[in-house]
C-alpha cells in the first residue's frame, strides 16, 4: 500500500495556551494557520504542522517527546532566544555520533525542543 499521507501534525497539550502560543508564534516565529479556540495550529515547514492544544489536566506524558526544528542557523537561534530570556539547556554543540549540530531548550510546559542542523550529506535536502 502506497503512503497516502500528505501532511504531518504533531499535537501537544499545554496548561497555558496563551503562553505556549506566544512562544511558538512569537519567539520561534511559526505561522498560525488555524485557530480552533482551544487549539492553535502552526506551520513549521511546508506541510509540517504543530498543534498546540489546551488541557485542564496533565493526561499526556511529556517525557520522550522531542520537537525538532531543522535549521542551518542553530547558533543564531540560540543567541536570539537567549536574548528573549529563553534558557538554552544544552549547546549549541556538535554531536559526532549523529553528525548534527544542535541545541536544546524547553517550552513553557517543559516540552523538549531541539534546534538541529543535519551535517550528514545523506540527509535529504528540504523540498523547494
| DSSP 8-state assignment for residue 24 | I
Question: Mean pLDDT throughout 92-102?
Answer: 91
At residue 41, does pLDDT exceed 80?
A: yes
At residue 111, does pLDDT exceed 70?
A: yes
Domains of the chain: 8-118 (3.10.180.10)
pLDDT at 42: 93
Q: What share of the chain is helix, strand, coil (3-state, %, to 5)?
A: 15, 40, 40
| Cross-strand bridge partners of residue 100 | 95, 118
- Tell me the average pLDDT of the chain: 84
Q: Which residues of 59-68 are buried (b: 16+ CB within 10 A; e: fewer)?
A: eeeeeeeebe
Residues 6+ away with beta carbon under 8 Å from 42: 24, 25, 30, 31, 32, 33, 49, 50, 51, 52
Residue 21: which pLDDT band, with cuts at 50, 70 and 90? Answer: very high
Q: How far apart are CA 102 and CA 69, in angstroms?
A: 10
Q: How far apart are CA 23 and CA 26, in angstroms?
A: 5
Rounded percentage of the chain residues whose pLDDT exceeds 90: 41
At residue 46, does pLDDT exceed 60?
A: yes
Higher pLDDT pick, 110 / 25: 25
Question: Mean pLDDT throughout 63-90?
Answer: 89
Dihedral through CA 66, CA 90, CA 21, CA 43, nearest 10?
Answer: -60
Residue 1: which pLDDT band, with cuts at 50, 70 and 90? Answer: very low
Q: Dihedral of CA 62/119/89/78: which sign?
A: negative
Q: How far apart are CA 115 and CA 102, in angstroms?
A: 5
Amino acid at each position: 500500500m502506497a503512503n497516502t499521507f500528505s501532511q504531518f501534525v504533531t499535537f501537544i497539550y499545554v496548561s497555558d495556551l496563551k503562553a505556549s502560543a506566544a512562544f511558538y508564534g512569537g519567539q520561534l516565529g511559526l505561522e498560525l494557520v488555524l485557530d480552533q479556540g482551544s487549539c492553535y495550529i502552526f506551520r513549521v515547514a511546508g506541510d509540517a504542522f504543530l498543534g498546540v492544544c489546551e488541557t485542564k489536566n496533565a493526561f499526556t506524558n511529556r517525557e520522550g517527546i522531542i520537537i525538532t526544528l531543522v535549521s542551518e542557523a542553530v547558533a543564531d537561534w540560540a543567541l536570539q532566544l537567549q536574548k528573549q530570556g529563553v534558557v538554552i539547556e544544552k549547546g549549541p554543540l556538535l554531536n559526532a555520533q549523529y553528525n548534527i549540530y544542535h541545541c536544546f531548550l524547553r517550552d513553557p510546559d517543559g516540552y523538549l525542543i531541539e534546534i538541529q542542523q543535519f551535517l550528514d550529506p545523506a540527509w535529504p535536502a528540504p523540498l523547494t
